[in-house]
Amino acid sequence: MSRCLRLRLGAEGYDHPGWAGSFYPEDLPREWWAGYYAALFPAVLLPARMLDDPTLETCLAEFSPQGRVFLRAPEPALLSGSHRERLIVLAQGFPAVLAGVLAVSPAQAQGLRAQLGESIQVLGDTQAPVWRPDADAAHAGLGLLPTPPDLRTLRRWLDSFTSASESTDCTLILEGNPPSPGGLEQGRTLLEVMGW
């Protein structure tokens, strides 16, 4: 039985030049993309390079307190001193929005948890697993999806994720570089039809 009471859908990144003219209106200035995206989708998984981007705070500020922003952890396994400090400051400044750091491996998750302490959630190991369609992870609050081939498959994945999750606050991220804006729109429509 699903405990998931809120299900958010988002994409891996929002700053995709290929989305101009299809997802973003052609005349929308690029510096407005984060706000436009956040108005339509309450979740995003940002790439690790955003830790070095001076616009990261502006991006986080575009999301409402009900939104969720996840950040991929940079490689190597441990954070540099400046990245560690920046993450801690961001977690303090945006505690409702910055939901966690996604590690690339369980070993990195353990190392990041040791570096960051309780300042921000670290995901990607058995302590805080991430759900995927090909690797069911019980009690995961974050799921990562490839672009679904069709709506039936997406529906099956949504049902599988929400039934496996023990979290009441769930987020699904459509992966890709860039993710399919059409797949994202289909996902949003399906969530609305399903009553999410």
Q: What is the pLDDT of residues 20-42, one digit of tens each?
A: 999 999 999 999 999 999 999 99
Taking CA atoms, 40 is separated from 55, 62, 135, 164, in Å, by 20, 11, 28, 26
pTM of the model: 0.94
For residue 98, what are the contacts with CB-CB under 8 A and spacing of at least 6? 60, 69, 71, 90, 91, 120
* CA-based radius of gyration for the chain: 16
Give the count of alpha carbons within 13 A of 31, CB side only: 4
Confidence of residue 119 (pLDDT cuts 50, 70, 90): very high
CB distance 181 to 18 below 8 Å: no
Say how far apart CA 37 and CA 44 lie, in whole Å: 9
Structural domains in the chain plus CATH codes: 6-193 (3.20.20.410)
Give the count of alpha carbons within 13 A of 166, CB side only: 7
Say how far apart CA 67 and CA 185 lie, in whole Å: 17
Tell me which amino acid residue 189 is.
T
CB distance 144 to 135 below 8 Å: no
Q: What is the pLDDT of residue 167?
A: 80
Mean pLDDT of 120-134: 91
